A and B are shown apart, each in its own frame.
Chain A
Amino acid sequence: MRLTYLRLHNFMPYRGEQEVRFPTRAGQNVAVIYGDNMRGKTSILSAIRWALYGEVRGRHSKPIPVMHLINRDASQIGDFEMSVTVGFHHDGIDYEVVRACKPKHLVSTPREDAHLDVQQSLKKAGEPVSGYLIEHEINQILPEEISRFSLFDGELLQEYEQLVAEATEESDRIKRAIEQVLGVPTLTNARDHLAELLLRAQRQFNKEVNRGTQQGRQIDDLSSQLEDSRREEQKLDALQGDLQGRCDDLDERLKTFERAESVKAQVEEVYRQQAANMAARDRATQTRLALAPRAWMAIVEKTISVRKDALQESLLAVRDDYKSAVRSEVLRHLQAQCVTSGSCPICEQTLGQDLQGRLRALMGSQQSASESALGDKLTDSLVSLSKQFEKLKALGAPGVAEGLIRSEAEIDRATIEMQKLDRRVRDLLADIPGVDLEQISRWREQRDAFSKELGKIEGQSASQRAKTTDLKRKFDVAVKLAASGEQGSAQSIGKKVTLLSALSDVFEKSVDTLRHKLSETVEQAATATFKELTTEKKYAGLSINDRYGLEIRDHMERPVSVRSAGAEQIVALSLIDGLNKASGKRVPLVMDTPFGRLDPKHRANVLRYLPTMSEQVILLVHEGELNPDRDMANIAPQVAAKYEIERISPTQSRVVTR
């Protein structure tokens, strides 16, 4: 980085527009700006810092309010607009950074920073850089933290003396700044970032592992279930096989006794017939028992029947006589009525005399009394015969004899049939001597039971096979899932954790190594610079401590415990040069009053050495520390620009070419 120009407007003592151009040519890289005390040398340094970083610090590092940066004469007349423009060149690109302030809208007379609107802009190769990228862009070139070793006040160099003293807050702050310029934060930040990424990856890994564990558990469960199912299937298959074997065995046995089986079936049929026969015989016996009480009637049945037939014949004869007698009585009565009334009581026809006479004659010839007595006699006879007939009829037992005969015949038939069947059984069994038909029956029963059980087991086995197939499918899916995406992810994160862990370890270990190496490098570079700058050429050099504090080593390699202010300044310049060399950063050196404490010899050494300390050196000096005639000779060939800060008023200065 090389500064190309600085443009000021109403900044501190510089009222209106002021511009300073800086040399950029190699070999002529020094600009000297003279200025007496209180004229504005430090303001030049402050302007650069304000433009780049937006802050100006005074003595004791106290920030100066922006309001105090505005030229007093300008603000006195109501001109509160202030700006600083810094042009610089870096890596072949021109940059221009501008920071400007003006009163906020509707604020006519700002009294504090809050009343001011401060804006920063940056142009890179003529193109504006977006606001949020400006800071990043500047930090890539000259970070504020390391600018203290580039844009510094020589009067403050004594602060580096603290680095050799006890560790204090200030020495820690300086140490941090030194490490920043050396690039240690690159490593420490990386270490911290990697640790953060490692933590995140570990969390993610744990999550994935848990997920994987759940998956694994699911696979284990499914595997276990599948195994159980297969075992159950095998058990059922074995049972089925056993039952089938038993069935086959029984079938084989039953086949061997097929003839016996047939005989047995016939025997069983005979037994069934026997049972039916016995039932028929039992029924016949029951019928015979029921008919037996009336069996005697059957014996007298014939005699009674003859008597009953005779009585029935007599009864019919008497009944005919009785009917005839009744008819005669009716006719007589009708005749009497015809004779009495002279007309027929039925058809009411009048009877002629002749007819009446014949009727009287007929009536006279009939013996009405005897006929009446016959009627009574016939009635008695009819009643008597009817009673006798009814009595005989009650003694009759129709069908009893037939029933008894049928029963007896059935019993006889059944008995004979039983005998036949018994004989048949005997004959059949004689055909299969020594065969235990009961055993065959038991086998048959067992075979039927086994067959039934086999059917049941076959059903269970089919169901179990279906279950096994389903579990196998689920298991395959789970394994496939685990083997592909999820598990792959866990493996990948596992690798990431391993890599991050290794990187964190490497970065952690490397920090101390780097510090040690940088210390060595800074020590060597600072020693080389110190030897150039010091007038005591016998000194062995500088030694560095862990806070980058430098101590002078005398010719016996002993630390020089008491150092003069000039020696402190030489050591500080050596440190700055050592740091810049160790960091490899190519930044300009803008030094304010760097020679204040140096004697002429040291000043001469420093002046001779300065052009080699950086690609660009800008010295803000007063004539007391850098005599324009005597001292400038040491640096004259490298000085490309000389300016002077002129006093205009107590509150105004201007920069002019000298």
Chain B
Amino acid sequence: MADDHALDALEAAKEMAGVNIPPNLLAKILEVEKKYAFDTEAETSALRELEAIIDAAVRDGASA
């Protein structure tokens, strides 16, 4: 339920900001952060996975 709220909040913020973010990108980011949310020693892994997602989105032609 909290995850749904997080995604809803992000979608609302996205609408408010009026930016173009690829579909599922927010959910993918949340998925990574959820995986490492309580793993303070995995900061590097989280950053690496996030960057990979962002890079893939940029490669796929994402722009804000």
Contacts and interface: CB of A to CB of B under 8 A. Distances in A.
A102 interface: no
B46 A189 contact: yes
Contact of B38 (A143, A518, A582): A143
Contact count band on A: 35 or more
Given A495-B62, A499-B58, A506-B17, A582 B9 contact: no
From DSSP, what is the main secondary structure of chain A's interface residues?
helix
Nearest to B4: A584
A193 interface: yes
A342 interface: no
Nearest to A500: B54
Interface string B28-62: 01101111111101100011001100110111001
Given A498-B64, A502-B21, A506-B21, A514 B38 contact: no
Contacts of A182: 2, 5
A136 B42 contact: yes
Contact of B16 (A140, A509, A585): A509
Instruction: Tell me the dominant secondary structure on chain B's binding face.
Output: helix
Contacts of B8: 517
A389 interface: no
Contact of A193 (B26, B33, B59): B33
Interface string A178-202: 0010110111011001101100000
A503 B51 CA distance: 12
A505 interface: yes
Nearest to A581: B1
B36 to A, nearest CB: 7
Contacts of B64: 498-499, 501-503
A492 B56 CA distance: 11
A144 interface: yes
A511 B6 CA distance: 8
Given A190-B30, A518-B2, A506 B19 contact: yes
Nearest to B57: A499
B53 to A, nearest CB: 10
B19 A505 contact: yes
Contact of B47 (A197, A509, A511): A197
Nearest to B18: A502
A509 B13 contact: yes
Given A186-B37, A190-B29, A498-B64, A506 B1 contact: no
B3 A584 contact: yes
Nearest to B50: A193
Nearest to A196: B47
A505 B10 CA distance: 10
Contacts of A145: 38
B63 A498 contact: yes
A583 B21 CA distance: 26
Interface residues of B, number: 43
A193 B38 contact: no
Given A183-B6, A492-B58, A501-B64, A584 B1 contact: yes
Nearest to B64: A502
Contacts of B59: 492
A54 to B, nearest CB: 14
Interface string A469-500: 00000000000000000000000100110111
A552 B22 CA distance: 44
Contacts of A498: 63-64
Given A506-B17, A521-B5, A189 B63 contact: no
A510 interface: yes
Interface in A615-647: none
A517 B37 contact: no
A234 interface: no
A503 B2 contact: no
Interface string A496-532: 1011111101111111011001100100000000000
A135 interface: yes
Nearest to A201: B54
A189 B6 CA distance: 12
Contacts of A583: 1-2
Contacts of A495: 58, 62-63
A505 B39 contact: no
A459 to B, nearest CB: 54
Contacts of A518: 2, 5
A37 interface: no
Contacts of B17: 502, 505-506, 509
A357 B29 CA distance: 175
A388 interface: no
Contact of B35 (A140, A197, A502): A140
A341 interface: no
A582 B2 contact: yes
B12 to A, nearest CB: 6
Contacts of B51: 197
B13 A506 contact: yes
B49 to A, nearest CB: 10
Interface in A435-486: none
B37 A506 contact: no
Contacts of A144: 38
Contact of A496 (B14, B36, B54): B54
24 contacts: A136-B39, A139-B37, A180-B37, A182-B5, A183-B6, A186-B2, A186-B37, A189-B46, A190-B29, A190-B33, A495-B58, A495-B63, A496-B54, A502-B20, A507-B13, A509-B17, A510-B9, A510-B13, A514-B9, A517-B5, A521-B1, A582-B5, A584-B1, A585-B2
Interface of B: 1-6, 8-10, 12-14, 16-17, 19-21, 25-26, 29-30, 32-39, 41-42, 46-47, 50-51, 54-55, 57-59, 62-64
Interface of A: 135-136, 139-140, 143-146, 180, 182-183, 185-187, 189-190, 193-194, 196-197, 492, 495-496, 498-503, 505-511, 513-514, 517-518, 521, 581-585
3 tightest A-B contacts by CB? A502-B64, A143-B38, A584-B1
Given A503-B26, A507-B29, 15 more contacts: A140-B35, A183-B5, A186-B33, A189-B36, A189-B37, A189-B46, A190-B32, A194-B29, A495-B58, A498-B64, A499-B62, A502-B21, A503-B25, A503-B54, A521-B5
